[in-house]
Structure 1
Amino acid sequence: MTTESKYAARVIALLCIAEVLSMTGFAAYPAMLPKLHDDWGFSNAEAGFVGGSIFFGYMLAVPFLSSLTDRIDARGVFAASCCLTASGTAGFALMASGVMSGALFQALTGAGLAGTYMPGLKVLTDRVEGPRQARYIAFYTATFGVGTSVSLLAAGMLSGTLSWRWSFAHLASGPLLASLVVLLGLHAKAPHGVHHRPWFPPIGAVLLQREIRRFILGYAVHCWELFGLRSWMVAFIVFSYAMAHDAPALSATEAAALINLFGLAASILGNEAAGRIGRTKWIAGILATASVMCWLAGMASSWTWWLMLAVLALYFMVVMADSAALTTGLVQASPLAQRGAAMAVYSLFGFGAGCLSPLVFGMTLDFAGGSNSSWAWILAFGTLGSGGLIWSVTARPDMK
């Protein structure tokens, strides 16, 4: 292994570790949603509102934080944002008492996430270039799923013996450790374009670039589906388990964590396939497939528990199969000095969609009969795939 390869491997390893640690509180709310639903007595729409608030906070903060990485070292943005994430998770533990306060601290956690996920990618692309960069990006973006799985597992284990407040409090330590990993493990590096980039991303100028716009809109429909699914996955498994005739071998949080891990391989292999088949063609095919699979996953609630989990896992893998392909396409299509701004707009649209999706899912549950109705779950799952089908149809002229 060459010195350059060793350096790249070290950067990737440190960033992946830091990303996982920074996300320990990310899935705490959906993992504990059944408990919170009983304690707070809110509707499914209110539950979806709180669940989507983490993405609302992300959406508000990401234009500034990601664009900031074109002016200052992204490493500093990552480290400071980890402290913000820890504050949101700890605040939820100490002070959340209902819908509005819960949403506030979820939004604060999301604002911190806005300064870690995409700025972490900027840390990577500022330090590692060359022909293997696309593969490195795929590994890093896939780590988001690992972080989600670790968060689900940790939240499930802690809530089994502790109250939900103490569980949230313990999970707040992860982002603080992530900050230390990045500050102590990586050297400082001045970003490209530091002297002339604006503090806020030029959204209009970014969207005028046709190729970049295609990936941004693709990411929006991807996040609509992914974050809607992640926000309600544990609650759906709990509902399905209640109808099972035999005892499931996995708890709901363990099953959700395992399913999220399957997304790691799907994202990495999907990026490899996109490089061979054609990026737009691959993404369009995946989004079209997911728009059908979402209905099948919703129908699986009354099936044998292991078959339900298998279908849910397959659906999640399809959803994740275009994740790294979209992000890699965005990075490769963006001029070097504008990459932070492009990432900011990319995240703004993606996590903006992710903010609305859990709410629409919950509203659909309420409208169609509530979370104890199989038909309501089918319709709620159906809302996840609508945007992907539209994108895949409109992208046909761009397929090569």
Structure 2
Amino acid sequence: MPPARAQGTTLVVIMCLTQATGLLGMGVLPALLPGFIAEWSLSGTQAGWLNGVFFGGYMASVIVLVSLTDRIDARLVVLGATALSFLSMLAFGLLAEGFWSALALRALHGVGFAGSYMPGLKVLTDRLEAKDPSRGVAFYTASYAIGGALSFYFAGKIDALWGWPAAFALLSLGGLVAFLLVWLGTAPKPVVHDHEAPLLLDFRPVFRNRAAVGYMLAYATHTTELMAAMSWTVAFLTFAASLQPTAALGWSVTLIGAVATIVGLPASVLGNEGARRFGRRRFISVVMVVSAACGACIGFSATLWFPLVAGICILYSALIAADSASLTAGTVMAAKPEQRGATMAVHSFVGFGGGFMGPLAFGAMLDLAGGADVVASWGVAFAIVALVTLAGPFFLARFSGEDEVKGS
């Protein structure tokens, strides 16, 4: 079967690769954040803005971009968005020279992410012929870990060789590869309306879907924790290493950040399988409580033996990711077919509201609690963000009803 007619497993692979390559630029700034803090004299709050504004750009555009996929082929949206991601990353490497220019270009990159992540999922689900698409959804949402891990790893390596501008410029090519994968690997699929098309930005039917709303709100608490941890883990590890240089000698914090990201892939896929077997709402709720408990402790561990600190960070990353695919799959499966694009738009907007606030709140708490050179400040910042996750089980119980337990 030629790539342009990809279906089934081949289609899932192509869209997972699109997701992974498109995210090669996402982790560059978090991976190199300690250097930017020093070079540009950033406060914790400013560093939080540079991380969070990526998701601010996402929020500002995702409602329109994803809603459009109920009216036009999602493939067109993804093509435009991956091109924008490539250009914004390249421009960061060539033009960014301080807080404000970096802020604008990070926001623009967030718009590119908005037009590729959920619309890419819709490219997949629109072309999958399966009653239960949750496995395909799980692999797609989990594949962010591949791109994120490679982003952290290569950002550190390229920065060490040629500096951060080269890291941004070279990893911007991931957006170009993603564009080519979608262009060459998927066929156009015109939207067929079996029902009267809803108004473009009329989300009232979505909010009447209580099951979907529960998963969206829980997803917001999840992304608050996920994006704060992704944005600040390397900086935290750099701080922890500075407290015990002998124990940390020879350790690459960007490599640890890459490992912490890549464990999200098996954790997310296996988490969805656990949700299918034990009940989606029940499984997600347990994972969120355990993840929040780990997050409440992690910042205070900075003075421990450095390999142990690194291991705790990796475990925490896996726990956060374990419910990621399950939450998105829950929303997709709860959505009515004719409202799937609008439902995914609201899911993204509400969810990544947490993605915007998480890194920003973390940085602000770091400043308010005493600064980035105080162990207790890191403990408070991690704990405050992690404890937000405890609202997730409440939202699921309040809105999403009873579990349907499936066999393997």
Cα separation, partners in 2 of 1:251 and 1:199, compared to 1, 3 Å: farther
What is the letter of the counterpart of residue 389 of structure 2? Answer: G
Q: What count of residue pairs does the alignment treat as equivalent?
A: 397
Q: Does the CA contact (< 8 Å) of 1:87 and 1:108 recur in 2?
A: no
State which drifts further: 262-271 or 200-209: 200-209
Aligned residue type for 1:271: N
Change over 3 Å in CA distance of 1:132–1:332 after alignment to 2: closer
1:313 deviation in Å? Answer: 1.3
Q: Does residue 367 of the first structure (1) align with residue 381 of the second (2)?
A: no
> Which whole-Å CA distance do the structure 2 matches of 1:204 and 1:19 have between them?
30
1:16 Cα deviation from its structure 2 partner: 1.1
What whole-Å deviation, never above 9, does each CA across 1:121-177 have from its counterpart, x for those lacking one? 101101113145211110111001111111111211110111211221111111011
1:194 Cα deviation after fit: 8.4
State the 1:240 CA deviation: 0.9
The question of whether the paired residues in 2 share the 8 Å contact of 1:28 and 1:152 is answered with yes
* 1:62-120 deviation digits (Å, cap 9, x = unpaired): 11111111111111111110011112212211222222211110010010001111111
1: distance between equivalents of 2:234 and 2:197?
42
Q: Are positions 1:86 and 2:76 aligned together?
A: no
Q: Which residue of 1 aligns with 2:3?
A: none
| TM-score normalised by length of structure 2 | 0.93
Question: Greater CA deviation, 184-193 or 46-55?
Answer: 184-193
Q: Which runs of 4+ in 1 moved over 3 A?
A: 192-201, 247-250, 393-400
Higher mean C-alpha displacement, 6-15 vs 133-142: 6-15
Matched residues in 2 for 1:195 and 1:86: separation?
36
Q: Counterpart of 1:105?
A: 105
Query: Which residue does 1:57 correspond to in 2?
Result: 57
Q: 2:102 and 2:343 mapped to 1: Cα distance? A: 31
Q: Is contact 2:298-2:382 (8 Å) kept?
A: yes
1:248 deviates by 4.5
Is contact 1:71-1:194 (8 Å) kept?
no
Aligned to 2:216: 216
Contact 1:51 1:359 in 2 (8 A): yes
Partner of 1:182: 182
Number of the residue aligned with 2:302: 301
Is residue 24–residue 151 contact of structure 2 (8 Å, CA) maintained in 1? yes
Distance 1:133-1:272 versus aligned 2 partners, 3 A rule:
same
Residue range with higher mean Cα deviation, 116-125 or 158-167: 158-167
Cα distance in 2, alignment partners of residues 200 and 248 from structure 1: 56
> Alpha carbons of 1:172 and 1:79: their partners in 2 closer, same or farther (altered >3 Å)?
same
Q: Structure 2: which amino acid aligns with 1:142?
A: A
SS in structure 2 of the partner of residue 302 of structure 1: coil
Contact 2:209 2:335 (8 Å CA) reproduced? no
Paired residue type of 1:372: D
- Secondary structure, in 3 states, of the residue corresponding to 1:372? coil
Between the aligned partners of 2:188 and 2:264, the Cα distance in structure 1 is 32
Instruction: Determine the C-alpha separation between the residues in 1 that align with 2:357 and 2:248.
Output: 34
Q: Look up the match of 2:274.
A: 273
**Structure 2 Cα separation of the partners of residues 65 and 165 of structure 1:** 29
Q: Distance in 1 between matches of 2:180 and 2:373?
A: 44
Question: d(CA) in 2 for partners of 1:358 and 1:180?
Answer: 32
RMSD: 1.9
Q: Please tell me whether residue 33 in structure 1 is matched to residue 33 in structure 2.
A: yes
Q: Residues of 2 paired with 1:192 and 1:276: CA distance?
A: 34
Name the counterpart of 1:3: none
Distance in 2 separating the partners of 1:190 and 1:80: 17
Deviation (angstroms), 1:387: 2.2
Shift of 1:204: 3.3
Q: How high is the sequence identity, in percent, across the aligned residues? A: 36
Q: If the length of structure 1 is used for normalisation, what is the TM-score? A: 0.95
Q: How do 1:25-174 and structure 2 match up within 5 A?
A: 25-131=25-131, 133-174=133-174
Whether the 8 Å CA contact 1:271–1:322 is kept in 2: the answer is yes
Q: Distance in 2 between matches of 1:200 and 1:125?
A: 20
Where does structure 2 lack aligned partners over 5 or more consecutive residues? 1-5, 404-408
Deviates more, 1:229-238 or 1:390-399: 390-399
Cα distance, 1:249 vs. partner? Answer: 4.8
| Aligned twin of 1:292 | 293
Instruction: Report the alpha carbon displacement of residue 386 of structure 1 after superposing the two structures with TM.
Output: 2.3
Deviations for 1:2-48, whole angstroms, at most 9, x for unmatched residues? xxxx8311101111111111111111111111111111101010010
Q: In 2, distance between residues paired with 1:273 and 1:297?
A: 25
